[in-house]
Amino acid sequence: MSDCLFCAIAAGDISTDRLHEDEHVVAFRDINPQAPTHVLVIPREHVASAAELTSDHDALWAHMLHVAQQLARSEGIDSSGFRIVTNIGHDGGQTVNHLHLHLLGGRPMHWPPG
Protein backbone atom coordinates (compact mmCIF):
# COMPACT_ATOMS: atom_id res chain seq x y z
CA MET A 1 0.00 0.00 0.00
CA SER A 2 1.82 3.09 -1.23
CA ASP A 3 -0.01 5.49 1.09
CA CYS A 4 0.53 3.47 4.27
CA LEU A 5 2.86 4.91 6.93
CA PHE A 6 3.96 1.54 8.30
CA CYS A 7 4.54 0.11 4.82
CA ALA A 8 6.84 3.11 4.26
CA ILE A 9 8.60 2.43 7.57
CA ALA A 10 8.98 -1.28 6.72
CA ALA A 11 10.41 -0.35 3.32
CA GLY A 12 12.88 2.03 4.97
CA ASP A 13 11.43 5.07 3.21
CA ILE A 14 10.84 6.63 6.65
CA SER A 15 13.66 6.14 9.12
CA THR A 16 12.93 4.79 12.59
CA ASP A 17 14.83 3.48 15.55
CA ARG A 18 14.78 -0.21 14.51
CA LEU A 19 15.28 -2.75 17.25
CA HIS A 20 14.68 -5.81 15.12
CA GLU A 21 14.13 -6.67 11.50
CA ASP A 22 13.95 -9.87 9.55
CA GLU A 23 12.33 -11.17 6.39
CA HIS A 24 8.82 -10.90 7.83
CA VAL A 25 8.69 -8.24 10.55
CA VAL A 26 10.20 -4.94 11.66
CA ALA A 27 10.20 -3.55 15.22
CA PHE A 28 10.85 0.06 16.17
CA ARG A 29 10.16 2.48 19.02
CA ASP A 30 6.83 4.30 19.09
CA ILE A 31 7.21 8.00 18.29
CA ASN A 32 4.86 8.89 21.17
CA PRO A 33 5.77 6.43 23.93
CA GLN A 34 3.12 5.61 26.53
CA ALA A 35 5.55 3.75 28.79
CA PRO A 36 9.34 3.60 29.31
CA THR A 37 9.38 0.74 26.79
CA HIS A 38 6.96 1.20 23.90
CA VAL A 39 7.89 -0.76 20.81
CA LEU A 40 5.82 -1.54 17.72
CA VAL A 41 6.13 -4.86 15.90
CA ILE A 42 4.78 -4.81 12.35
CA PRO A 43 4.65 -7.29 9.50
CA ARG A 44 6.32 -6.25 6.26
CA GLU A 45 3.17 -7.45 4.51
CA HIS A 46 0.33 -4.94 4.59
CA VAL A 47 -2.46 -6.39 6.74
CA ALA A 48 -4.95 -3.73 7.88
CA SER A 49 -5.50 -5.10 11.38
CA ALA A 50 -5.74 -8.30 13.41
CA ALA A 51 -9.36 -8.51 12.21
CA GLU A 52 -8.03 -9.16 8.69
CA LEU A 53 -5.79 -12.09 9.65
CA THR A 54 -6.56 -15.42 8.00
CA SER A 55 -5.16 -18.89 8.60
CA ASP A 56 -2.56 -18.03 5.94
CA HIS A 57 -1.11 -15.62 8.51
CA ASP A 58 -0.83 -18.10 11.38
CA ALA A 59 2.97 -18.35 11.17
CA LEU A 60 3.33 -14.58 10.75
CA TRP A 61 1.15 -13.82 13.79
CA ALA A 62 3.04 -16.32 15.93
CA HIS A 63 6.33 -14.84 14.75
CA MET A 64 5.18 -11.33 15.69
CA LEU A 65 4.43 -12.59 19.21
CA HIS A 66 7.81 -14.29 19.46
CA VAL A 67 9.60 -11.13 18.34
CA ALA A 68 7.67 -9.11 20.96
CA GLN A 69 8.62 -11.70 23.60
CA GLN A 70 12.31 -11.49 22.62
CA LEU A 71 12.19 -7.69 22.69
CA ALA A 72 10.66 -7.79 26.18
CA ARG A 73 13.76 -9.74 27.20
CA SER A 74 16.23 -7.43 25.45
CA GLU A 75 14.45 -4.37 26.91
CA GLY A 76 14.79 -5.90 30.38
CA ILE A 77 11.05 -5.95 31.14
CA ASP A 78 10.44 -9.70 30.94
CA SER A 79 10.66 -10.33 34.66
CA SER A 80 8.75 -7.19 35.75
CA GLY A 81 5.95 -7.90 33.27
CA PHE A 82 4.67 -6.16 30.18
CA ARG A 83 1.67 -5.77 27.93
CA ILE A 84 1.15 -6.74 24.29
CA VAL A 85 -1.74 -4.91 22.64
CA THR A 86 -3.20 -4.69 19.18
CA ASN A 87 -5.87 -2.07 18.55
CA ILE A 88 -8.54 -2.75 15.95
CA GLY A 89 -10.67 -0.13 14.22
CA HIS A 90 -12.16 3.08 15.51
CA ASP A 91 -13.47 1.94 18.88
CA GLY A 92 -10.34 -0.15 19.42
CA GLY A 93 -8.26 3.01 19.18
CA GLN A 94 -6.45 2.07 15.98
CA THR A 95 -4.95 5.11 14.25
CA VAL A 96 -2.59 3.44 11.76
CA ASN A 97 -4.33 0.90 9.55
CA HIS A 98 -1.41 -1.51 9.25
CA LEU A 99 -1.32 -4.38 11.76
CA HIS A 100 0.99 -3.75 14.72
CA LEU A 101 1.65 -5.08 18.19
CA HIS A 102 2.39 -2.58 20.93
CA LEU A 103 4.91 -3.89 23.46
CA LEU A 104 4.57 -1.78 26.59
CA GLY A 105 6.45 -2.03 29.86
CA GLY A 106 8.72 -0.43 32.40
CA ARG A 107 5.83 0.77 34.58
CA PRO A 108 2.71 -0.82 36.07
CA MET A 109 -0.17 -0.95 33.58
CA HIS A 110 -3.73 -0.23 34.55
CA TRP A 111 -6.76 -2.33 33.75
CA PRO A 112 -9.18 -1.76 32.21
CA PRO A 113 -7.61 0.59 29.68
CA GLY A 114 -9.28 3.95 29.19
- How many C-beta neighbours within 10 Å does residue 107 have? 13
Active site residue 46: no
Do the Cβ atoms of 28 and 16 come closer than 8 Å? yes
* CB 98 to Zn ion: min, Å: 3
Which of Zn ion, ligand 5GP, none sits in contact with 16, Cβ below 5 to 8 A by type?
Answer: ligand 5GP
Footprint on residues 26-55 left by ligand 5GP (CB under 6 A): 28-32, 40
What x-and-dash track marks residues 63-102 binding ligand 5GP by CB under 6 A? ------------------------x-----xxxx------
Question: CB-wise, 31 or 108, nearer to ligand 5GP?
Answer: 31
Q: Quick one: which segment of 22-30, 44-52, 64-72, 77-85 binds Zn ion (CB under 5 A)?
A: 44-52
Residue 76, phi-psi category: left (phi > 0), alpha (psi -120 to 50), beta (remainder): left
Give the residue numbers marked as catalytic: 100
